[in-house]
Copies of this chain bind each other. A is one copy, B any other.
């Protein structure tokens, strides 16, 4: 029974310290993370910073193409990256259910450590709480993060004619989660697109004045993210269905599941709003980046209908894409 999490691991005493030493410090170790000190301190230069938070309750914890640990790092790294920031420091806070296998915790912590290494961020502060069996669901992870905005990216006013670029196939994370959760076996490669965006964003820096907004279409998928952008812009969005990158097998799986891939979460795609003039050369640059080969210009901003997103369908019709309204698939991140 030593191989599971117990309530004493959350009491802040000896067992909590041992857990932190043997698992968290082992994999997160860096010069800013000090046991027994609750806040990390570091030096910053004068400038703009970004700060973000996300809790992760994804089910299952391990899925094709990723796991909750990787997702928790990428999710926060990506939120910083799309704000134009270079992600620097993360916090990780665990709410663990009594009885959770230590082996699974270790696997998740290793995954967090690897994802940090890959993205160049450090876990500098953390917290561990334990709740009684039946009062949680395995493990929930919060990651918050801070970064510096080195190249002075800021959200700029969107104008009529501005283009929308998506960096790759949509709905792949949500689809992978759905198939894994319900244990549905279909032929084909259904991996989450779960990936960090910070290096992609860094490569696009020289286009900044032409890039007006960056966003990662997570919960609620492409359609919801476009609605959020539309309401910030005060304009309408027209999407061309033909241009939306959507893998055939992802489309087929969603038909089978009765779900709409336009509303399925991505965890490694970037939406960019760019000036009409820069769109083609930016796209050319983006498709050279590893993982962005399928990038497409999928639509543009229009005067009417105001604050709405619609799609020109394959058949030549128009479909209004509202913000996600019904119940799609809970706990995808």
- Chain A contacts to B: CB under 8 angstroms: 7-8, 10-17, 36-57, 79-80, 82-85, 89, 91-95, 124-127, 129-132, 134-137, 140, 142, 144, 146-147, 149, 154-155, 215-216, 218-220, 224, 228-229, 231-232, 263, 265, 322-331
Contact = CB atoms under 8 A, between A and B. Distances in A.
A82 B331 CA distance: 36
Given A12-B324, A14-B324, A142-B142, A43 B47 contact: yes
B37 A155 contact: yes
A111 B177 CA distance: 36
A149 to B, nearest CB: 6
Contact of A12 (B134, B137, B219): B219
Contacts of A229: 36
A276 to B, nearest CB: 23
Nearest to A38: B79
Nearest to A79: B38
Contacts of A91: 51-53, 144
Contacts of A140: 95, 129, 131, 140
A127 to B, nearest CB: 5
B95 A95 contact: yes
Contacts of A149: 41
B93 A323 contact: no
